[in-house]
Amino acid sequence: MKSLVQKESWQKSLLRKKNKEGRRIKDQQDFLDREMDIKIYLYDNYDPYSVKILVLLRKCKLKFTLGTYSRKNMEYVSDEIGKKVRKLPQVVIDGQLIGGYFDLMEFLINKKVINFKGELNKRQNGKGPSGQEATNI
């Protein structure tokens, strides 16, 4: 089993590659390492898509904040997001409305964080920014 130092040096050597594959790895690592402002707006009762969003973001080791709202507070949520929304959950990343679970999946696939099955890309090796605890809005 490789030590943590060996894993980190192996990952750094991958990031230094000059070919197309190395550039893709660097872009993906840059996306994961930068501080993103991810906000999740959820209903205050159980919703299976809310759970899927939370599981996906934790699996990707991305920091996020979340807020729970009743169905009566949709006007407030729309004001917070800046766009009329009719249902929750909604994900906002860096002020940009992403949408629900499937929209988040598409976003993360396009950023090469996950594959089409929802699994972490092997190049990522499960590494993301450290200290990924969710906080409430």
Q: What is the pLDDT of residue 135?
A: 45
Q: What is the pLDDT of residue 1?
A: 44
Q: What is the CATH number of the domain that holds 39?
A: 3.40.30.10
Indicate the pTM of the whole model: 0.67
> In which domain, by residue range, is 87 found?
35-136
Q: Residue 10 domain-assigned? A: no
* Residue 50 domain flag: yes
Does some domain include residue 84?
A: yes
Q: Is 28 a member of any domain?
A: no
Q: What is the pLDDT of residue 132?
A: 41
* Residue 45 falls in which region: left (phi positive, over 0), alpha (psi -120 to 50) or beta: beta
Domain count, the chain: 1
| Residue 6 is assigned to a structural domain of this protein | no
Q: Does the residue 20 lie in any domain?
A: no
The reply to whether 21 falls in a domain is no
Whether 91 is covered by a domain: the verdict is yes
Average confidence (pLDDT) per 10 residues, the chain, 137 residues: 46 47 55 78 94 93 92 93 93 94 94 86 53 43
Category of 112 on φ-ψ map: left (φ > 0), alpha (ψ -120 to 50) or beta: left
